[in-house]
Amino acid sequence: MNFWNDPLKIAADWMEGIFVGWGMDAVLAHVLVAFLGVFLLIAILMVVDIFLVWVERKVVARFQDRLGPNRLGPFGLIQPFADIIKLIIKEDTTPGGADKVVYNLAPILSMMSVLILWAVVPIAPVMLGVDLNVGVLFLIAAGAIGTLSIIMAGWSSNNKFALIGGFRQVAVMVAFEVPMLTMLLVPTIFASSMNMNDIIQGQGNLWYFALSPLGALIFLVAAIAELGRAPFDLAEGESELVSGFNIEYSGMKFGMFYAGELLHAMTFGGIWAILFFGGYRFFGLEQVSPFLAIPIFLFKALIGYWIIMWVRYTMMRIRIDQMLVFNWVFLTPLSFVLLMVTALMNALLKDASLWIYGLGMFLSNVVVGWIALEIARSVSRKQRESVEGPKNLAEAPH
Amino acid sequence: MNEWLYVALFIVVGLIIPIGAIAAGFIFGPKKPNPIKETTYECGIETVGDTWVQFKAQYYIFALVFLVFDVEAVFLFPWAVKIGQLGLYAVVEGIIFITILIVGLMYAWRKGMLEWA
Average pLDDT of the segment spanning A329-355: 85
DSSP 8-state class, residue A278: -
Q: Please report, for the domain that includes residue B12, its CATH number.
A: 1.20.58.1610
A127 bridge partner residues: A124
Residue A396 pLDDT > 60, yes or no? no
Chain-chain contact of B83 with A163 (C-beta, under 8 angstroms): no
pLDDT tens digits, A349-377: 877 788 888 888 888 889 999 999 999 88
B33 CB-side CA count, 13 A? 9
Total count of residues recorded for chain A? 398
B46 in a domain, yes or no? yes
Contact B11 A116 (CB under 8 A): yes
Type of residue numbered A337: V
Please, are residues A268 and A179 in contact by the beta-carbon 8 Å criterion?
no
pLDDT for B9: 85
pLDDT at A145: 87
- DSSP result, A16-85: HHHHHHTT--HHHHHHHHHHHHHHHHHHHHHHHHHHHHHHHHHHHHHHTT---S-SSSGGGTTHHHHHHH
What is the pLDDT at residue A211? Answer: 86
A contact test, residue of B2, B4, B5, B7 with most A CBs within 10 A: B7
Question: Which of A139-143, A208-212, A334-338 is the most confident on average?
Answer: A334-338
ipTM for the predicted complex comes to: 0.85
Residues A320, B116 contacting (CB under 8 angstroms): yes
CB-CB under 8 Å, B47 with A38: no
Residue of A nearest to B65 (CA): A174
pLDDT bin (cut points 50, 70, 90) of residue A390 is low
Sign of torsion, CA B79 B70 A256 A272?
positive
Q: Give the whole-angstrom CA distance, residue A114 versus residue A269.
A: 13
Rounded-to-integer distance, Cα A300 and Cα A75, Å: 23
Q: Output the average pLDDT for chain A.
A: 83
Q: Count structural domains, chain B.
A: 1
Model-level pTM? 0.88
Residues 6 or more apart from A16 whose CB is under 8 A from it? Answer: A26, A29, A30, A33
Given a cut of 70, whether residue A28 has pLDDT beyond it is yes
Residue A371 has what pLDDT? Answer: 92
Q: What's the mean pLDDT in B49-76? A: 78
Strand-pair partners of A124: A127
**pLDDT value at position A393?**
61
CB A248 within 8 A of CB B37: no
**B7/A119 Cβ within 8 A:** yes
Residue B35 lies in a domain: yes
pLDDT at A77: 85
pLDDT confidence band for A395 (50 / 70 / 90): low
Distance from the Cα of B93 to chain A's closest Cα (Å) equals: 11
Could you check whether the bond before residue A231 is cis, i.e. omega within 30 degrees of 0?
Answer: yes
Terminal C-alpha separation, chain B: 53
Q: What CA dihedral angle connects A336, A340, A346 and A347, to 10 degrees?
A: 150
Q: What is the mean pLDDT of residues A129-143?
A: 82
Of A30, A110, A328, the CB nearest to B114: A328
A94-132 per-position pLDDT tens digit: 887 778 888 888 999 989 999 888 888 888 777 676 777
Query: Given this model, what pLDDT does residue A255 score?
Result: 87
Taking the C-alpha atoms of residue A257 and residue A75, their distance in angstroms, rounded to an integer, is 25
Q: Is residue B7 part of a domain?
A: yes
**Residue B23 falls within a domain, yes or no?**
yes
Q: Which domain holds residue B11?
A: 3-110
Mean pLDDT, to the nearest integer, of A26-37? 80
Spatial CA neighbour of A290 closest among A24, A1, A6 = A6
Distance of CA A46 to the CA centre of its chain: 16
Confidence band of A392 (pLDDT split at 50, 70, 90): low
Contact between A82 and A72 (Cβ < 8 Å): yes
- Show the DSSP H helices in A242-331 as ranges: 251-276, 290-314, 320-325
Among A residues 350-379, those touching chain B with beta carbons less than 8 Å apart: 350
HSE-CB of A381 using CA atoms within 13 angstroms: 8
For residue A398, pLDDT beyond 70: no
* CA torsion through residues A201, A202, A205, A208, sign: negative
pLDDT at A333 over 70: yes
Given a contact cutoff of 8 angstroms between Cβ atoms, the answer to whether B1 and A30 are in contact is yes
Nearest CA in chain B to A346: B84
Asked if the C-beta of A81 comes within 8 angstroms of chain B's C-beta atoms, the answer is no
- Across the interface, whether the CB atoms of B53 and A255 are under 8 A apart is answered no
Asked if the structure places residue B116 within a domain, the reply is no
Residue range A63-104, pLDDT digits in tens = 888 888 888 878 888 888 888 888 888 888 888 777 888 888
Does any CB of chain B come closer than 8 Å to the CB of residue A35?
Answer: yes
**Within a domain: residue B38?**
yes
pLDDT tens-digit map of A237-283: 777 777 778 888 888 888 888 888 889 899 999 999 988 888 787 77
pLDDT confidence tier of residue B117, bands split at 50, 70 and 90: low
Angle at B32 between CA B29 and CA B38, to 5 degrees: 105
Residue A130 near residue A177 (C-beta atoms within 8 A): no
Cβ(A142)–Cβ(A116) below 8 Å: yes
CB-CB contact of B65 with A329 (8 Å): no
Give percent of chain A above pLDDT 90.
Answer: 5
Task: State how far the alpha carbon of A94 is from the alpha carbons of A149, A250, B23, in Å.
Answer: 17, 9, 15
> Given a cut of 70, is residue A1 above it in pLDDT?
no
Has residue B117 been placed in a domain?
no
**A127: phi then psi, degrees, rounded to nearest 5:** -110, 105
Contacts of B115 in chain A (CB under 8 A): 321, 324-325
